[in-house]
Chains A and B, each alone.
Chain A
Amino acid sequence: MKTDFEKRYQRAPLHRPAEKVSARVRAASEDLAARLHKQPDRLVSLPYYEELFTTEKRKKELQILNRKVVGTYCYFAPEELIYASGDVPIRLCSGHSDTITTAEELLPRDICPLVKSSFGFPILGDGWIDACDVIALPTSCDAKTKLGEYLADYLPVWMINLPKIKNYDGLKEYWLKEIKLFLHKLEELNGKKVKAPELKNALQLLKRRAELYRAMYELRLAHPLLLSHQDLLMVVQSSFYDDLPRWINQTELLYNEMKKASATGKYAAKGKRLMITGAPIIWPNFKILNIITELGSTVVADDMCAGHQRLWDYAEPDEWTLEGMLEAVAARYIFPSVCPCFTTSYDRIDKILHLAREAKVDGVIYHDLRLCQIFDMEKDLVVKVLKENQIPVITLHTDYGQEDVEQLRTRIEAFLEMIL
């Protein structure tokens, strides 16, 4: 299988299977699932999603499935193309803190916890990466750019050269070429060409997913506690792993249940309405959300790439020819993205202001993952604009570890008291 790294210089892949670490990883998922399970008045369709995180059922299914599995990172690996070529995308971004020490044996300490946590899994020989045939890795931030060379020791890696400047005329052509190159690699992997009807099906499938999510989002604006934000992120992030048509069917059931439950009127927001912005909060690193719930407030919105943003956008082609659809796919990943890896933060600021206005939030929590420079550098302007718009905002500098939970609790408590 082709890889983007020619292996001129090689290093032996590091393997450190450790049952202790693997057990801690499983326990973290199970603990969180049990905790979510105990929420009052929880909808009955939700345990389905927990299973994806706590059991190995889906992973076994993937291993016996006669389809290629493409591991992806970030928001930018084009899912449409992977589905159109008949493969399965699995997003490998991880939120486990237990694998970080394992990864630090090879990776430097001072890089973002998301990359370290995700890289722990190939070393352990555990997790979703086991089921993958190839990895598609966009060069979104510095750590992800360099991660490819490490991952190439374990699996073939395709880098996706992500541009950093959102400039319509120039970027469109360049990025479209990159998308076509990616499609070409997929076609080589599968040994068959992707035809327009297949791509159209994939686009429509993902559009259905987006429409379903949008309907849920709108329902949640008035009744946020139908799904606590932990549950919402769980539902969103389970779509990284689940079979998509099955996930859509299940989520339609969930949506219908939400609609029925919303009539009872007991799911209105408790306490302050908050919004989370910033670095991704990925299962099982839900500590900030848990603290907010314990303090009696509700998170009603977020703009994270592993949350709201992941399912919000879809490709909308002007014409359903192969070229037209590829253009739409290319545009869908770059232009509406709020990722700070682009040079401008204005689109992100607009998105935050819009969500804050629409969800009527009382305050914004800026989640700043330690050692993620790009979110850190955007913070100043975002905070300034939010304050100008009379929206209180607090910045939380944290990582995947549990050490600072009490400290965070004190800060959030003070913030909630400060909001009028």
Chain B
Amino acid sequence: MHTITYIRRGVQILSLTFLFYGATLLHLKPTEIKWYAMQENSRQATELLYGNPTWTQPFQTFLPARSCRFAGTHGTFRGCLMFFFSDILTWRPPLGVVLPSLALVVVLMVMLARFWCGWICPLGFMSELLYEARKYLGLKRIRFSAPLRNLLKAVGWGLTFIILFSAWFISWSAVAWSIKKPLYLAVCQMCPSKLITPALTGFPIMINLTFPGASTTLLVSLFVVLVASTLLYFSGFILKRAWCKICPLGVILSFFNQGAFLSKEKDLIRCTKCAVCASACPMETSTVYEEKTKKYVNHSQCIHCYRCVDLCPEKKCLTVKFLGLPLFKS
């Protein structure tokens, strides 16, 4: 009975514990900080540096999930993929320095794509817990309408672009400090994890609405985006996985959903189009339901939770394959 969901919950609990509290629980020692920005000779770049007590995690590497840097000394990884990409774009360190981390992240990303969202990401897991709480309270669910879903998708793309572009933009020496400072790591400035993870791990929340020499307008507007995205995150209480629909990390991972090692296949003749999959999908996609001509049913927003496979009433209709080997069957 719903085996896949139970397995997934187990994995999610383990991954949240490991990503957020792993360093404390397993007595892992922090590694020496290799802050490759130091090697950039630009004076402005060095000026950007300020003492940051978060960089003390045991693994100075990154995951394609919200292994948030605000987990502080309890956390196991240095940060998420967006943080890493932003840093690379800002500091542009020599390839040799970032290659190990970059290779790891890219391999993980290409192999599993949005599997990270459904099974590993602690933020996604907590938003599902919020949703479970609503079920327990018996409150009514609300679904995103199709136009709203498209809007959210566009917002996600927009955010991703702004984050990556601003990370690159502030590395230009011509750009004034007043703009550089607020836009530094724009990804963290607008991520709900900045508020949620510290709340869970006891790390101090840092919000600077004024900073010497920085543009207050930019700082405040980023703060507004942060509040909006946090509100969206908590609306996951009645709207299933609300934040995940715009998550920039998810947008990047969704490019790899089609060619990932994991694939979902449908036996087209067996499918009765009963729409159980469409109503169960946390991302509210309908590819699995609608597709009747191609057997591969990987939607770009699919988070590989396999709820559709779990609930499908037709035996052997949906199959999840890892490199061609069947992993789960309906």
Extra contacts, 5 of them, besides A313-B272, A336-B313 (Cβ < 8 A), are A168-B275, A318-B279, A323-B140, A331-B279, A336-B273
The minimal Cβ–Cβ distance linking A358 to chain B, given in whole angstroms, is 8
Q: Which of A313-328 contact B (CB under 8 A)?
A: 313-314, 316, 318-324, 327-328
User: What's the dominant secondary structure at chain B's contact region?
Assistant: loop
Q: In the complex, what distance in Å separates the CA atom of A316 from the CA atom of B310?
A: 11
How far apart sit A168 and B140, CA to CA, in the bound complex (Å)? 20
**Cβ of A354 < 8 Å from any Cβ of B?**
yes
- Answer yes or no: A347 CB below 8 A from chain B CBs: yes
Complex Cα distance A318/B271, Å?
Answer: 18
Those of B277-330 within 8 Å (CB) of chain A:
278-280, 286, 289-290, 292, 307, 311, 313
User: Counting CB contacts under 8 A, is B126 at the interface?
Assistant: no
**Chain B, range 79-138, C-beta contacts under 8 Å to A:** 135, 138
- Chain A residues lying within 8 Å of B273, measured Cβ to Cβ, are 166, 335-336, 347, 350
- The answer, yes or no, to whether A48 is at the interface (CB within 8 Å) is no
Across the interface, which residues of B come within 8 angstroms of A322, CB to CB?
138
List the interface of chain A (C-beta within 8 A of B).
166, 168-169, 172, 196, 313-314, 316, 318-324, 327-328, 331-332, 335-336, 346-347, 350-351, 353-354, 357
Q: Looking at the complex, which one of A321, A353, A357 makes contact with B135 (CB distance below 8 Å)?
A: A321
Nearest residue, chain B, Cβ from A314: B313
B141: Cβ under 8 A from any A Cβ: yes
With an 8 A cutoff between CB atoms, is B148 at the interface? no
For B140, the chain A residues whose CB sits under 8 A away are 321, 323
Q: Min CB distance, B315 to chain A, in Å?
A: 8
B222 to chain A, nearest CB (A): 36
CB neighbours of A313 from chain B (8 A): 272, 274, 313
Task: Report which B residues bind A (CB closer than 8 A).
Answer: 135, 138-141, 146, 268-276, 278-280, 286, 289-290, 292, 307, 311, 313
Chain B residue at smallest Cβ distance from A350: B269
Among candidates A196, A331, A350, A353, residue contacting B275 with C-beta atoms closer than 8 Å: A331
Q: Which among B146, B272, B307 has the highest number of chain A CB atoms within 10 Å? A: B272
Could you say which residues of chain B place their CB within 8 Å of the CB of A319? 135, 141
Cα(A169)–Cα(B292), bound, Å: 17
Q: Closest chain A residue to B132 by CB distance?
A: A319
Residues of A within 8 A of B280 (CB): 318
Tell me, in angstroms, the Cα distance from A166 to B286 when the chains sit together. 14
Set B139, B274, B307: member contacting A335, Cβ < 8 A:
B274
Residues in A with CB closer than 8 Å to B276 are 316, 318, 328, 331
* B111 shortest CB reach to chain A, Å: 28
Decide: A357 and B141 in contact? CB cutoff 8 A.
no
Report the nearest A residue to B307, measured CB to CB: A318
B311 touches A316 (CB 8 A): yes
CA distance A314 to B140 in the complex (A): 23
Q: Report Cα–Cα, A351/B280, bound state, in Å.
A: 22
B206 to chain A, nearest CB (A): 38
User: How many angstroms between the C-alpha atoms of A346 and B286 in the bound complex?
Assistant: 18
| A-B contacts at CB below 8 angstroms, number | 67
Question: How far, in Å, is A80 (CB) from chain B's closest CB?
Answer: 15
Contact B275 A335 (CB under 8 A): yes
Cβ contacts under 8 Å, B278 to chain A = 168
A205 to chain B, nearest CB (A): 16
Q: Is the CB of A169 within 8 A of B146?
A: yes
A328 to B280 CA separation, bound complex (whole angstroms): 10
Chain A residue contacts of B272, Cβ below 8 A: 313, 335-336, 347, 350-351
Chain A residues with CB under 8 Å of B289's CB are 168
29 sample A-B contacts, Cβ–Cβ < 8 Å, listed by A number = A166-B273, A168-B275, A168-B278, A169-B146, A172-B275, A313-B274, A314-B313, A316-B274, A318-B276, A318-B279, A318-B280, A321-B135, A321-B141, A322-B138, A323-B140, A327-B279, A328-B276, A331-B275, A331-B279, A336-B272, A336-B275, A336-B313, A346-B292, A350-B268, A350-B271, A350-B273, A350-B292, A351-B272, A353-B269
- A196 vs B140: C-alpha distance in the bound complex, in angstroms? 13
Q: Which has the most chain A C-beta neighbours within 10 Å: B279, B280, B286, B292?
A: B279
Which chain B residue shows the least CB distance to A318? Answer: B280
Please report the C-alpha to C-alpha distance between residue A328 and residue B313 in the assembled complex, in whole angstroms.
12
Contacts of A357 in B (CB 8 A): 269
Q: How far is the CA of A322 from the CA of B140 in the complex (A)?
A: 9
Question: Ordered nearest first, which 8 A-B pairs have the shortest CB separation?
Answer: A336-B274, A336-B272, A335-B275, A318-B280, A354-B269, A316-B276, A335-B274, A331-B275
Most chain A CB within 10 A, of B139, B140, B274, B278, is at: B274
Contacts of A328 in B (CB 8 A): 276, 279
Instruction: Give the residue among B269, B286, B289, B290 with the most A Cβ atoms within 10 A.
Output: B269
A354→B141 contact, CB < 8 A: no
Give chain B residues whose Cβ lies under 8 Å from the Cβ of A168.
275, 278, 286, 289-290
Chain B minimum-CB-distance residue to A324: B141
Which of A169, A316, A347, A357 has the largest number of chain B CB atoms within 10 A?
A316
B290 vs chain A, min Cβ distance (A):
8
Q: How far is the CA of A347 from the CA of B271 in the complex (A)?
A: 9
| Contact residues in B for A332 (Cβ distance below 8 Å) | 274
Residues in chain A near residue B279, CB distance under 8 A = 172, 318, 327-328, 331
B8 to nearest A CB, angstroms?
A: 14
CB-CB under 8 A from B271, the residues of chain A are: 350
CA distance A353 to B279 in the complex (A): 26
Chain B residues, CB < 8 A from A350: 268-269, 271-273, 292
Closest to B286 in A: A168
CB distance from B295 to the nearest CB of A (A): 13
Task: Output the least CB separation between A282 and chain B (Å).
Answer: 23
| Cβ–Cβ contact B141 & A323, under 8 A | yes
- Distance in Å: Cβ of B329 to nearest Cβ of chain A: 15
Are B269 and A321 in contact (CB-based, < 8 A)? Answer: no
CA distance A323 to B313 in the complex (A): 20
Which among A313, A324, A335, A353 has the highest number of chain B CB atoms within 10 Å? A335
When C-beta atoms are compared, the residue in chain B nearest to A196 turns out to be B138
Q: A55 to nearest B CB, angstroms?
A: 35
CA distance A351 to B274 in the complex (A): 12
Q: Give the complex CA separation of A270 and B244 in angstroms.
A: 57
